[in-house]
Each structure stands twice: as C-alpha cells, then as structure tokens.
Amino acid sequence: MKAHDGMYIDGAWRPAAGRDTIPVVNPADEQVIAEVPAGGAEDVDAAVRAARAALPAWAATPPAERAARIAALRDVLVARKDEIAETVTAELGAPLPFSQAVHAGVPVLVAGSYAELAASYAFEEKVGNSTVYAEPVGVVGAITPWNYPLHQIVAKVAPALAAGCTVVLKPAEDTPLTAQLFAEAVHEAGIPAGVFNLVTGLGPVAGQALAEHDGVDLVSFTGSTAVGRQIGATAGAAVKRVALELGGKSANVILPSADLAKAVGVGIANVMGNSGQTCSAWTRMLVHTSQYDEAVALAAEAAAKYGDRIGPLVNAKQHARVRGYIEQGVAEGARLVAGGPEAPREQGYFVSPTVFADVTPEMTIAQEEIFGPVVSLIRYEDEDDALRIANGTVYGLAGAVWAGDDAEAVAFARRMDTGQVDINGGRFNPLAPFGGYKQSGVGRELGSHGLAEYLQTKSLQF
Ligand code: NAP
Ligand code: MG
C-alpha cells in the first residue's frame, strides 16, 4: 500500500525528526503492508507551531468561506471513496462492502453536514444589551482510535474547521494510512497550510506529547477509558478544554410487545458489523423471561448465519483480549450458543460471531467492554428489572429499545442513563449529538452540539 514517509505539517509532507517507523499490518493475513514514521515530541511541536501560526487567519476567515473549503473536502472524499474503502479494509480488516458503505460513506455525510452548519450556524447572537460571539477555542489536539478510522477523524476535524479552529491529528498506530489519505484530501480541498496537520506515532509518545503541549487549547480524544482518564487529568491540570468519547456497554432492551425476531436480528447485526469493534454496539440484549428461550434460538441462528461475512479484529492484542473474555464468560457460567474462543482460521485475527445465553448482569462479560463480536443475552422479570440491568454498568453511551409502539419505547428510553437510544430500529442521524453519560465520556460529537464543543463565547455589552 502507498504510504508517505513524512508528516503532513504546514501544508506539505516533511521528514520526521527521528528514524523510527511503525509497521502497518493487514489483520486478515497478518502481512506488513506499509511503514509510516513514528513521530515524537519534536514532530508534535512543529505541528502545533504550524497550527498556531495558521490560527488567526483561519479564525478570521468568514464562515461561508470555511464552509466552502469543508464542502470541497467532502467532494474529495466522494471522489476518492473507493481508495478510502480499500485502505480501511487493508489496515482495519473490515469486509469491503462494509468499508464502502460505512467507513467511506459516513464521513461524507458528516463532512457535508459541517459544510452546511458552518454556513448556517449563528456565530453571533443578541442577548438584551449584549452581543455574544461564538469564537474558536484555538488549536485542537485530536487523538483518534482505529475502529472507525476515517469517521472519527472527520467527526473531530470537520467541526473544528467549521468553528475556525486549527488542528493537529494523532491517529491510531493501527490505521495511519487512512489518516494519510485524509491529509491528502485536505490538501486537495485547498484548505490553507497549517490549518490541519498530521503526526503519525505511538500513543504514549506522540499522543501524550500532543495532549501535554502548552500550545494546544483543546484535546479531543476517542478511545479507551484508561487513556481517556489520563488525558482528562492532564487537561484538567492545565485548565484546558477536553472532550472524551470513551467506551460503552450498551443495552438492547426488547420489551414484550416488540417484534422479537426483528429486534433480535437487528441487534445481532448491530454488534457483528465491524466485528464488534464499535463503542456504541448493543452488546447486552435484554429479553423478558417469557420470550427468553425463543430469543436465544433466534440470536444463535442469526449469529451462525453471519459466519464468514465477519472481518478479523484489528490486531493480535485485541484478538487475544477478546478470546480471553469469551473464555472468562464460559468460566463464570454463561452458556455458549454460537461461536466460542477458538480461532476459526489459521491466519488472520478472526473470532467467530459469538452469543452467550444465561448471562447474569454482574458477570464480567456483562460489565466490561469486550470490543469483539460477542453478544450477551440477559433475562429480565419486569420493566423495572430491565431498567436496573440496562443502567447497571459504569457506561452510558448508547442503547436500543423495541416495543409495540414508539411511545412505549420512548417512555423506557427516557429512564435510561445513556446518551443515544435507537427507538424500534431508528436510523443513523449524522446531526444527532453523540456522546456518553457516566464514564462513557465528556462532551458531544456531530451536528450543532459537536460544533459547539470547539467554540467559546465572548459577550460585548452596549
Ligand atoms: P487507546 O489506547 O485508548 O487508543 C486510542 C488513541 O489514543 C490512539 O490513537 C492511541 O495511540 C492513543 N493513545 C494511547 N495511549 C495514549 C497516551 N498515553 N496519551 C495519548 N494518547 C494515547 O485504545 P486501544 O489500545 O486502541 O484499544 C483498547 C480498548 O479501548 C479497546 O479494546 C476498546 O475497549 C477501547 N476502544 C474504544 C473506542 C471507542 O470508540 N470508544 C475505540 C477504540 C478502542 P495508539 O494507537 O498508538 O495506541
Ligand atoms: Mg493503545
């Protein structure tokens, strides 16, 4: 695969300060497909300086002009969508149709939404005898994970640019090629030099240097709770703005009046897409005791049908981790009804679509984020019991509720401690705020709420 051997800083590809590189591995066959430079503090510093130097002019660029540049970026993402999908498939392992529809498709929607929002947002408001201005926070340090490699970049960079901020991105070490493609797209879109900068590298080196840099005004992080906690502490000590999009253990609540077959089928597909590597996946399926056995049979059948259509996990570490969780589920007394801990293929980091029945709410597999193709079916006695189980983890990112009518589902959803709930299979909305309650994070991404994260207010009194 094509790779740049430098960093994209101040509008050009520049050699890295050091000689270290990161191998990029295709998780489907374990072959090294490229090498990218492993940046360090010096590279981060150069990128932050470029972002700071570009800030005054970009912040002063009229919103309509910023909108036009973001629209141009969207157009490049459309023109290069096949290349994007192939790159994501090569370094993440997602099956090509999923990469085309989701990994390449969703960023186009999100970039398009920010082209529109940049043009229409009220950056100025009259409040009594005051005028309130929404001004860019400044230089953004964006740190992204590998599971939706382009979406997570666009969900930070597009609103930051719409707000008038400049950005330094440190993408995940597993998926740097998608990030390099994005940098090319920024360049092609005519976004001025220094407004967006890319430093590839390792989290504890380049990521930490970026989070700690004095020249960064806001850190936006998506990834594990452990690293998020650390970044939040660093940002707190420096009185720096921070947005954290962390893990989840979301509940798919099937009320007795629901269409059971549909709710189970969509629920299994929701987890298996992207091999379970989705922070908002509904990994706990909550079923009324009267329908439990039927739901178990349906779930096992749906998972078995998934079979070979599932991609591998991203790397050897995640492969070992997920298989470890499956073994732990068995050891704690859950019943395997599909899949299991054995690797289904000799090569590649594959795990079979796995379904556990007889899972109790306190089991490890019902509490911790597995980040693999594993669904736990949990039995409830009545609605209050279902609510207690749904809310009974440290997380609160997403969820689903199924019922005979939307009103019944909405009444339940309003009692859930979570940031996003799909009602009876509701569709993805790129304008809906996305983010967590409880330990799932701080702040929101997408739509106008996502834009507001990158703005600070100034009021003038007359
Ligand atoms: P991670 O380590 O939190 O990685 C997320 C990003 O943070 C990556 O760019 C990473 O760089 C960087 N990073 C790591 N340590 C850092 C540090 N000390 N300072 C600054 N940045 C740092 O997550 P992971 O190791 O890829 O995955 C572990 C688990 O996190 C998963 O099993 C899953 O449970 C969870 N996860 C959640 C999401 C989500 O969307 N909420 C996404 C991915 C993973 P490197 O790539 O070099 O590590
Ligand atoms: Mg990591």
The 3-class secondary structure across 269-295, one letter per residue, is HHHHHHHHCCCCCCCEEEEEHHHHHHH
Is 356 inside any structural domain?
Answer: yes
Is 1 inside any structural domain?
Answer: no
* Count of domains observed in the chain: 2
Is 176 inside any structural domain?
Answer: yes
Q: Are residues 263 and 391 in the same domain?
A: yes
Q: Are residues 362 and 232 in the same domain?
A: no
CB atoms < 10 A from the CB of 12, how many? 11
Q: Looking at the CA of 202, which ligand is closest?
A: 1
Pocket test for ligand 1, best of 146, 169, 224 (most atoms within 8 A of CB): 224
Is 435 inside any structural domain?
Answer: no
Q: Is the pLDDT of residue 16 over 90?
A: yes
Q: Are residues 21 and 157 in the same domain?
A: yes
Q: Are residues 193 and 104 in the same domain?
A: yes
Coil, strand or helix at 23: strand
Is 160 inside any structural domain?
Answer: yes
Ligand 2 centroid – CA 145 distance (Å) = 8
User: Which whole number is the average pLDDT over 377-386?
Assistant: 98
Give the pairing type, strands 455-461 and 130-136. antiparallel
Q: Is the CB of 204 under 6 A from ligand 1?
A: yes
Q: Are residues 207 and 277 in the same domain?
A: no
Give the model confidence (pLDDT) of 301-334 as tens digits.
999 998 878 999 999 999 999 999 999 999 999 9
| Residues with active-site annotation | 245, 279
Q: Is the CB of 387 under 6 A from ligand 1?
A: no
With 0-12 CB in 10 A as exposed, 13-18 as middle and 19+ as buried, what is 333? Answer: exposed
- DSSP code for 206: I
Residue nearest atom 28 of ligand 1, based on CA coordinates: 224
User: Which whole number is the average pLDDT over 144-149?
Assistant: 98
Amino acid at 195: V
Is 147 inside any structural domain?
Answer: yes
Ligand 1 centroid – CA 290 distance (Å) = 40
User: Which whole number is the average pLDDT over 205-211?
Assistant: 98
CB atoms < 10 A from the CB of 259, how many? 15
Q: Is the CB of 246 under 6 A from ligand 1?
A: yes
Q: Is the pLDDT of residue 98 over 90?
A: yes
Query: In angstroms, rounded to a whole number, what is the distance separating the alpha carbons of residues 351 and 348?
Result: 9
Q: Are residues 237 and 282 in the same domain?
A: no
Query: In angstroms, rounded to a whole number, what is the distance separating the alpha carbons of residues 121 and 66?
Result: 12
Tokens of 427: 């569709």
Q: Is the pLDDT of residue 204 over 90?
A: yes
Q: What is the number of the ligand 1 atom nearest to the C-alpha of 245? A: 41
| pLDDT at res. 340 | 97
pTM: 0.98
Give the model confidence (pLDDT) of 276-304 as tens digits.
999 999 999 999 999 999 999 999 999 99
Alpha carbon 179 to chain centroid, angstroms = 14
Ligand 2 centroid – CA 314 distance (Å) = 12
CB atoms < 10 A from the CB of 320, how many? 11
Q: Is the CB of 10 under 6 A from ligand 1?
A: no
| pLDDT at res. 307 | 81
Helix (H) or strand (E) holding 374: strand 374-380
The parent domain of residue 450 ranges over 6-246+440-461
Q: Are residues 76 and 114 in the same domain?
A: yes
Residue nearest atom 25 of ligand 1, based on CA coordinates: 224
User: How confident is the prediction for the chain on average, in pLDDT?
Assistant: 98
Q: Are residues 109 and 193 in the same domain?
A: yes
CATH number at residue 381: 3.40.309.10
Q: How confident is the model at residue 403 (pLDDT cuts 50, 70, 90)?
A: very high
CATH number at residue 16: 3.40.605.10
Q: In what order do the strands lie in the sheet with 422-423?
A: 335-338, 354-359, 374-380, 284-288, 251-254, 399-402, 422-423
Ligand 1 centroid – CA 169 distance (Å) = 14
Q: Are residues 264 and 214 in the same domain?
A: no
| pLDDT at res. 309 | 87
Q: How confident is the model at residue 244 (pLDDT cuts 50, 70, 90)?
A: very high
Q: Are residues 58 and 188 in the same domain?
A: yes
User: Which whole number is the average pLDDT over 179-199?
Assistant: 98
Pocket test for ligand 1, best of 106, 143, 221, 445 (most atoms within 8 A of CB): 143
Q: Is the CB of 203 under 6 A from ligand 1?
A: yes
Coil, strand or helix at 332: coil
Q: Are residues 416 and 447 in the same domain?
A: no
Q: Are residues 41 and 168 in the same domain?
A: yes
Given a contact cutoff of 8 angstroms between Cβ atoms, the answer to whether 24 and 32 are in contact is yes
Is 434 inside any structural domain?
Answer: no
Pocket test for ligand 1, best of 24, 227, 244, 365 (most atoms within 8 A of CB): 227
Give the model confidence (pLDDT) of 99-139 as tens digits.
999 999 999 999 999 999 999 999 999 999 999 999 999 99
